[in-house]
Structure 1
Amino acid sequence: MEQEEALDWTIRTRDPDFRDWDAFTRWLEAAPGHAAAYDALMLADADLPALVPAEPLFAGTPANDRGAPASRWRWRWIGGGAIAAALVAALSIGMTNRADIYTVDTRPGEVRVIALDDGTRIEINGGSRLRLDHNDPRFAALDSGEASFTVTHDASDPFRVTVGDTVFEDAGTIFNIVRAGDATRIGVAEGEVIYNPDSDAISLPAGRALREDGRGLTIVSVAPESVASWRQGRLAYDNAPLADVTGDIARSLGIRIVGAPPLRFTGTILLDRDPQRFFARAAPLLGVTARHTRDGWILKERDGPQS
């Protein structure tokens, strides 16, 4: 039954018209095995287009009769026995050969909370991808986006987060990590984090932040309460590049922002799910004008002195 449900959700969420993300999230969180079964099928993602036809299985169905997404794909599951069998076989093979790593993805503007077996809590911001291990609650890998970690400390088995080639190790810690392109940012709100403990072993106590990019490392002081402030609906910065700020805004609000003037920003911005209302307040603070187009929000540096 669990495999059938996982297959049903796999097919449905691959539909470009799928909209029932709330129901899908409830299903994932209803039982521990749901996410594992779904992730295993998604690992066979490259094989699915060949197995699931783009056109309806029954030629008698009108071409313009799309129906409700849930009922349409359920009908495919019942009627497409050969497809279902092939996908279940793919699931069985994947479950046998795959590692115990699973992936959590969030859509732009979506937030997910993961509670690990060791008591650690991870809050994942929008537009992010995080990998975890079913058999190792002391491991995480942030591939892109942003996540906040409230770690249950164990000196004999430290929690480690891998970001690209970098490793961050906790020492009784609350911290926030952003991965955008080739740049990584971490801020520590409580306790301590060790940057690359097996090589550099740089200590980052509470109130410190590190940025790593193609130009090297930068370590600065930050207000601990500003770390992961997105969880409280605000973004706080101290002399931050505007490119970092706009990336954080886009991730949190689920919008596209085109370009960022070469400016820096110090201050706090309150988030608002209404982009028009948000930019009406935030654009003057950032020293930019904001215009919405079909390609996204275009930001340009304001002319003249700022009040």
Structure 2
Amino acid sequence: MMNEEALGWVIRTRDPAFNDWEAFTLWLEADPGHAAAYDGLMMADSDMDSYIPVDPVVMPVAANDAGVRGPWRWVGGGAVAAALVATVSIAVLNRSDIYSVTTRPGETRTIALDDGTKVELNGGTTMRFDRKDARFAALDAGEAAFTVQHDAANPFRVTVGDDMFEDAGTVFNIVHAGGATRIGVSEGKVIYNPQAEAIALPAGRALADDAQGLRVMDIAPGAVASWRQGRLVYANAAVADISQDIGRSLGVTLTATPGAQAMRFTGTIRLDRDPARFFAQAAPLMGLTAVRQGDGWVLKEGPHKEGPHKEGHGPQS
């Protein structure tokens, strides 16, 4: 049923005469799965014309209706609609040009695109690419660093959930996890939602969109995608975000108590593939204690202890 509805909206919104955007927005907001279904079918846009009849299908109008609506190219329900949904769904699943890349937690991978752009995926990341369009990428979950071959006439675009980041420069890093998105720019410039907010993020600027709202802030260019150099660099960052970064980079299951999550930290944390050794150094640096729990670890509030490998500026509130 959801795919049938999504297909109906895809076909309607592709019509140049479509103007019922309020109803479309209400449908998207009614169920989180609606947007995913709609986006999935929109990716098949280039294939849809071969499945949709050239002649529009006109919905019969009762004699007592107030007016006659314009013809639609799709009618909901019935064998024709079901067959059309099935055909397009198969087309989406079988499109060889759209492909996904997933890394396990703790694993990294580099994707070299045909236009010269390089995308480096951190652990626990899923992305989609298009073999027919090297200027497209979609970050579904995780973290990725982008070194983009700039082309003003054909900008590189990254879709993250409902948002879009358009390259107007070179190097940036995006994190998308738990419904929140963070981006930092180290070279050039990136435009956030160019058709809506159109926020320009030059080198040394970052943007966060999470439960606290949409915020723009400064970031040290050297801190952007620092995970590639085996370190995590923060300026007044919440431990809730830091714990996600650690788990993604090391491939460990890491949780934090509510009190620990609310703490903030400024400094540099060096990554170490040995979790016990890593937490023995990193937890005191953040003013926390780390406790092994089953196959994972838990960060808890604890007294700050100086250690021989301390680096950074310690916890902040």
TM-score interval (norm. to shorter)? 0.5 to 0.7
Unaligned runs of 5+ in 2: 1-89, 307-317
1:199 Cα deviation after fit:
1.1
- Taking every aligned residue pair, what percent have the same amino acid on both sides? 64
1:196 is matched with 193
Unaligned runs of 5+ in 1: 1-92
2: CA distance between counterparts of 1:146 and 1:96?
25
Counterparts of 1:128-143 in structure 2 under 5 Å?
A: 128-143=125-140
RMSD of equivalent CA atoms: 1.6
1: CA distance between counterparts of 2:286 and 2:93?
52
2: CA distance between counterparts of 1:238 and 1:256?
24
1: CA distance between counterparts of 2:226 and 2:188?
17
Query: Counterpart amino acid of 1:137?
Result: A
1: CA distance between counterparts of 2:173 and 2:296?
27
2: CA distance between counterparts of 1:295 and 1:254?
11
Higher helix share: 1
Determine if contact 2:243/2:255 at 8 Å carries over to the other structure: no
Instruction: Describe the SS at the equivalent of 1:278.
Output: helix
TM-score (norm 2): 0.65
2: CA distance between counterparts of 1:221 and 1:96?
41
Distance 1:196 1:94, change over 3 A: closer
2: CA distance between counterparts of 1:270 and 1:239?
17
Instruction: Describe the SS at the equivalent of 2:169.
Output: coil
2:264 is matched with 264
1:213 Cα deviation after fit:
1.3
Cα distance per residue 1:36-70 (max 9 Å; x no partner): xxxxxxxxxxxxxxxxxxxxxxxxxxxxxxxxxxx
1: CA distance between counterparts of 2:93 and 2:242?
43
2:149 is matched with 152
Structure 1 residue runs of 4 or more that deviate by more than 6 Å after TM superposition: 93-96
Query: Do structure 1's residue 275 and structure 2's residue 272 form an aligned pair?
Result: no
Find 2:233's aligned residue among 228, 232, 236: 236
Moved more, 106-115 or 255-264: 255-264
TM-score (norm 1): 0.67
2: CA distance between counterparts of 1:201 and 1:256?
36
1:14 is matched with none
Instruction: Describe the SS at the equivalent of 1:231.
Output: helix
Determine if contact 2:100/2:126 at 8 Å carries over to the other structure: yes
1:274 Cα deviation after fit:
0.2
Instruction: Describe the SS at the equivalent of 1:281.
Output: helix
2: CA distance between counterparts of 1:170 and 1:109?
27
1: CA distance between counterparts of 2:276 and 2:287?
16
Counterparts of 1:48-197 in structure 2 under 5 Å?
A: 97-98=94-95, 100-197=97-194
1: CA distance between counterparts of 2:212 and 2:278?
32
1:299 is matched with 299
1:13 is matched with none
Distance 1:97 1:290, change over 3 A: closer
1:214 Cα deviation after fit:
3.0
Determine if contact 2:252/2:296 at 8 Å carries over to the other structure: yes
Distance 1:284 1:114, change over 3 A: same
